[in-house]
């Protein structure tokens, strides 16, 4: 299944981060492109992948058929990670938003030798189910403090995760989309620090 993706590589990157987009989103999401730009400026390559085809995305907007099909999203993200390994010998990380975070965690559980670090932004790690106990890559969960339902789901998932290190960071006052002043910049800072640290210590 051919998927669309945008690869950006700064000179001599220290690693590559794949983006798994969430419900109803795609690789052109302004929030994820904002994070990707910051990663690139910090010396990391990025690969923003659409896990649905154009036709699937259109149907999903009307029916929400695919956005919670975590197994499908995981299969496609796993294939993207395997492809990314052919592009670089540097560490590979996963940045997942919403349901994309569950796909990222399941992919890391399935291919532990390929995934070096994970960041979830406003994610649904609970949807990864039993795979949470199989994740070995250092994992950071970032949630908006005002996104109360997702905070609860992340707290529960955090208790299930056996990855070490594993951290849950709550951005005070931020909603699900981190649209409040400074909220997305906090996400960027946490994300850059996490990937830089865990890529360079390997």
- What is the phi/psi pair of residue 7, to 5°? -105, 130
Question: Sorting pLDDT into bands at 50, 70 and 90, what band is 129?
Answer: very high
Task: Give the pLDDT score at 52.
Answer: 83
In the three-class reduction of DSSP (H, G, I as helix; E, B as strand; rest coil), residue 87 is classed as coil
Given a contact cutoff of 8 angstroms between Cβ atoms, the answer to whether 198 and 116 are in contact is yes
Task: Give the pLDDT score at 202.
Answer: 63
- pLDDT, one tens digit per residue, over 138-176 is 999 999 999 999 999 999 999 999 999 999 999 999 999
Own/partner pairs, 72-76, CB within 8 angstroms, 24+ separation: 73/20, 73/99, 73/100, 73/102, 73/103, 74/102, 74/103, 74/106, 74/107, 74/110, 76/1, 76/3, 76/49, 76/51, 76/103
Q: How many CB atoms sit inside 10 A of residue 98's CB?
A: 23
The answer to which of 50-54, 86-90, 104-108, 192-196 has the lowest mean pLDDT is 50-54
Quickly tell me which residue has 């910049």 as its tokens.
Answer: 185
Q: Which residue has the higher pLDDT, 77 or 26?
A: 77
∠ CA 86-99-117, rounded to 5°: 45
CATH number of 5-200: 3.40.50.1820
**Statement: residue 37 has pLDDT above 80:** yes
Mean pLDDT of the chain: 92
Pairing of the two strands 45-49 and 5-8:
antiparallel
Question: Sorting pLDDT into bands at 50, 70 and 90, what band is 25?
Answer: low
Q: Which residue has the higher pLDDT, 177 or 17?
A: 17
**Statement: residue 60 has pLDDT above 80:** no
Query: Averaged over 82-111, what is the pLDDT?
Result: 95
Question: Sorting pLDDT into bands at 50, 70 and 90, what band is 119?
Answer: very high
Q: Confirm whether pTM is higher than 0.75.
A: yes
């Amino acid at each position: 299944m051919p998927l669309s993706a945008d690869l950006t590589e700064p000179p001599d990157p220290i690693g590559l981060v794949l983006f798994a987009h969430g419900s109803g989103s795609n690789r052109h999401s302004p929030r994820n492109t904002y994070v990707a730009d910051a990663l690139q400026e910090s010396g990391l390559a990025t690969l923003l992948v659409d896990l649905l085809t154009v036709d699937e995305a259109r149907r999903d907007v009307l029916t929400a058929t695919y956005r919670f099909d975590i197994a499908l999203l995981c299969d496609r993200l796993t294939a993207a990670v395997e492809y990314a390994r052919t592009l670089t010998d540097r560490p590979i990380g996963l940045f997942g938003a919403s349901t994309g975070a569950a796909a990222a965690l399941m992919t890391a559980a399935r291919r532990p030798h390929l995934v070096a670090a994970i960041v979830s932004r406003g994610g649904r790690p609970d949807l990864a189910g039993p795979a949470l106990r199989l994740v070995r890559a250092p994992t950071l969960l970032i949630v908006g403090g005002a996104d109360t339902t997702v905070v609860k789901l992340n707290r529960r998932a955090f208790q299930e995760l056996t990855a070490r290190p594993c951290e849950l960071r709550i951005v005070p006052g931020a909603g699900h989309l981190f649209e409040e002043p400074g909220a997305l910049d906090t996400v960027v800072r946490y994300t850059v620090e996490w990937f830089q640290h865990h890529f360079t210590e390997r």
